[in-house]
């Protein structure tokens, strides 16, 4: 297991936690606050997914 594999696992777990927060709405947001909350968490999730893609990309694809 490499450091990259570790980061992939951490990012995947973070995505799972984000989905849990969206599903459960622990702060009980409503209306526009709920919309902002889910949008913000969605943006973090998209960023984490892109980071996973970048980590898993072949070494030949990396620009130096």
Q: What is the pLDDT of residue 47?
A: 97
pLDDT in tens, 2-49: 788 899 999 999 999 999 999 999 999 999 999 999 999 999 999 999
pLDDT in tens, 23-33: 999 999 999 99
Q: What is the pLDDT of residue 57?
A: 84
Residue 17 and residue 5: Cα distance in Å, rounded? Answer: 19
Closest CA to 44 of 21, 24, 62: 21
pLDDT interval class at 64 (50, 70, 90): low
């Amino acid at each position: 297991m490499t450091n990259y594999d570790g980061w992939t696992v951490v990012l995947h777990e973070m995505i799972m936690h984000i989905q849990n927060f969206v599903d459960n709405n622990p702060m009980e947001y409503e209306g526009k606050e709920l919309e902002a909350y889910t949008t913000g968490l969605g943006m973090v999730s998209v960023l984490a997914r892109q980071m996973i893609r970048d980590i898993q990309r072949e070494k030949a694809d990396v620009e130096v």
